[in-house]
Amino acid sequence: MTTLYRKSEVTFAVLWIAAYVILTSIADELSVAAGVVKSVTAALHIVMSLILFHWIRANRLSRKYGLCRSEVPARRFLYYLPLIIIVVTPFLNGVGMKYSLPETILYFVSMCCVGFLEEVIFRGLLFRAMEKDNLKSAVIVSSLTFGIGHIVNLFNGSGRSLAESLVQIVFAVLIGFVLVLIFYHGKSLIPCILFHSANNAFRVFAAEGSLNPTMELIINLVIIVIVLGGYLLYLLKAFPLKEDHLR
């Protein structure tokens, strides 16, 4: 693995993305066949997370990939309040249990690992590999790749409508831009991992059905345009992108 990394960091990142997407899709199908939500997927995500974490530590790449404290005070990022708003928004429907207790635990663990894996793969491996050649291209590609990756929800039988899936893709692209800016300027993936894990995992405790689909769609659009869009504009103004930032 290290040999491939030294030969081409971009290829290394792309292979990790491909392996993650393909294996997760297969694991989800096996979990459904087994009749236990995320049973196989959780195991896969735990193994992949441990492998990636151990490899980063063993090769002394923790600082490069942001597994360290942020160098920028939280107040400069507005204490991450827009991200906190996004995490708590699903609870407008209330609190409830969607699955059995064992399935809830498996889902929660799987989603926590997803937060780690996707941040390290997209914001860490892919962004850092491309940043050396062109910072702005790295920001754009890592964000778009992350967002477009959610297009799988149009075809995987997730139950989402076309409008819901498109909104999720737009949301993922924008959140990709926000998180890569936080990582680039703060030099830490920890805030990104914590947000991503919480946003995914805590949804298993959010009740469904009290808001009609139209209202949920409106709320999601408000989150995208006002909360996420406004936060992105703030970050771009407060932290202008400069090619020599890390030199």
User: Mind listing the pLDDT tens digit for each residue in 96-128?
Assistant: 888 999 999 999 999 999 999 999 999 999 999
| % of the chain with per-residue pLDDT over 70 | 90
Closest to 224 in 3D by CA, of 177, 165, 163, 174: 174
Q: What is the total count of domains within the chain?
A: 1
Per-residue model confidence (pLDDT) at position 186: 97
Q: Which domain holds residue 234?
A: 2-238
pLDDT above 60 for 91: yes
Higher pLDDT, 54 or 213: 54
Residue 137 counted as domain residue: yes
Residue 6 counted as domain residue: yes
Residue 247 counted as domain residue: no
Per-residue model confidence (pLDDT) at position 37: 93
Of the CA atoms within 13 Å of residue 57, those in its CB half-sphere come to: 7
> Residue 161 — pLDDT band, cuts 50, 70, 90?
low
Burial per residue of 162-186, b for 16 or more beta-carbon CB atoms within 10 angstroms, e otherwise: eebbebbbbbbbbbbbbbbbbbbbb
Helices (H), the chain: 2-7, 9-34, 39-58, 81-88, 101-118, 127-131, 135-148, 162-186, 190-201, 213-222, 229-238
Residue 124 counted as domain residue: yes
Q: How far apart are CA 181 and CA 235, in angstroms?
A: 7
Looking at 42-46, 169-173, 202-206, which range is the least confident one?
A: 169-173
Per-residue model confidence (pLDDT) at position 209: 64
Task: Say which amino acid occupies 60.
Answer: R
Q: Could you tell me the CA-to-CA distances from 46 to 20, 42, 104, 195, 199 in Å, in that order?
A: 12, 6, 16, 18, 18
Q: How far apart are CA 3 and CA 239, in angstroms?
A: 35
User: Mind listing the pLDDT tens digit for each residue in 138-151?
Assistant: 999 999 988 876 66
Q: What is the mean pLDDT of the chain?
A: 90
Concatenated DSSP letters of 134-147: -HHHHHHHHHHHHH
Residue 64 counted as domain residue: yes
Residue 130 counted as domain residue: yes
Q: How far apart are CA 238 and CA 122, in angstroms?
A: 23
C-beta of residue 206 within 8 angstroms of C-beta of residue 96: yes
* Two tokens, residue 196: 């991503």
pTM (predicted TM-score): 0.91
Residue 246 counted as domain residue: no
User: Mind listing the pLDDT tens digit for each residue in 199-225?
Assistant: 999 999 998 766 677 777 788 888 999
Residue 244 counted as domain residue: no
